[in-house]
Structure 1
Amino acid sequence: MSGVLTMNPVPRDTTGRAAGTDGPPAPVGRVINLRDERDGLRTVAHVERDLPPGGIPEYLAARRSGVRSFVLWADPDRRQRLATLVTVSVNDGVGTYRVLGDRGEPIGTLVREKALSGRGLRTRWTVTQPGCPEAVGYKGRIFWWYVWWLLLPVQTVVATLALLSGSGDVARGPRRIVWRAGGEAPLEFRSDKDELHLHAPWCDWRVGAALVALVPTFEGWLGHPWDDKKK
């Protein structure tokens, strides 16, 4: 399908419920919105970490090696599961993640190959869906990476001053990703608003929703990954 996916936090539950407190669990705190020409803007999923038996501490420990696990719910109270993202393997800078449907069936595979891990100078993302062409995208354009590296000495000074003063900002590396499959570009991640554009009608929005949740978790030390919170 065609459309634009974004992930956004929702206001805190008005009852004041929070994870780990007595009583019913708090509703899911992040939503996936889809905007298209037919239905306009609407919420299509509620996303949260799928915690292992050891809870948040175990998730954060595994996260450092590249492991990720999310659940996409149809509602904020977790009554219906739409999809699940699980980690298949993480080795030598290459992470493979599978997206499962509501019945546990595989609906897509996402592979992230870290920059300089053997495939080139840029991080490589591969998206596959059953019966669809493989789509490959690279993080940032080469030209803007050259510009960013040329400005790195200046950014290092800015970062040092920001740490000392507690203010200021540092330019992040190029983050836009355009996936190619044959002669078309079915997917595009626009970093200015963290939007995932679905350009091809064969794109499964559930796979796109998992992807728009996954990509920001690899933001590095300059970013603010949503899944690294301690509570």
Structure 2
Amino acid sequence: MPKIPTASRTRTVTATPKTRVGAPTIPPGQPFPPRANRPPRPANQGTHQRPPALPTHGPERHPRGEESDIVHANCNTIFKKADQDRRQLTSQLKEAADTARRWDLEKAQLQGKVRKLMSELNESKQKTQELEKRLDDATLDRTNYVSRKEHEKILKDLFDASSSVTKMAEAEIDASQNAYISTLLSDSDVAQGSWLDQSKQFAMLDNPAVPDVNASTFSIPDPPALPGFDDYVEMP
């Protein structure tokens, strides 16, 4: 037997909002009016409506296969350009690496040349110092010694002086011998015969009292043997 609906015995009580006496009645769902000298309260973001979605192209305008082909073509173009850029950059990097290796090789060669030049420079400095020292020594020797012309002049003066002294000594010896011999001989002896005949009588050569005529009365040493002027080497 079907159930017949009956009225509910519970009462439905609707609560009415309490308001002050004289306050304006605001219908539900309407915001409160702003108070004086107070900025308005920002509205709730949830109450704003969302912007409508952009219309999408339906399949009737751009079919899925044609759109895929367009995207694929664009991707291929981008990939080809990226691959071309990659190859270009790789080539540039390779050239840069080759250039860097070449520069390193040239740098090593230049460093070797610089070391060689520095070694030669040090050797030249040492030789220069040695030459300067020898030059100083030669200058000192030049100040201490006379020149060749001065040597020749001095030797010539000594030779001339020794020659004149020798000649004077020989002349004095001859004069003294002649004077001594003349004192031993008288006028009568000179008148009698020749000197050879009287030599046996006086026995002058064998008489120890009579000095030897050929002997030198003065003890004069022999002059030193002077070398020729051409035998001297060139003086500084």
> Normalized against structure 1, the TM-score is what?
0.16
Structure ID, larger Rg? 2
Which has more strand, going by share of residues?
A: 1
Q: Larger relative CO (CA 8 A, sep 6+): 1 or 2?
A: 2
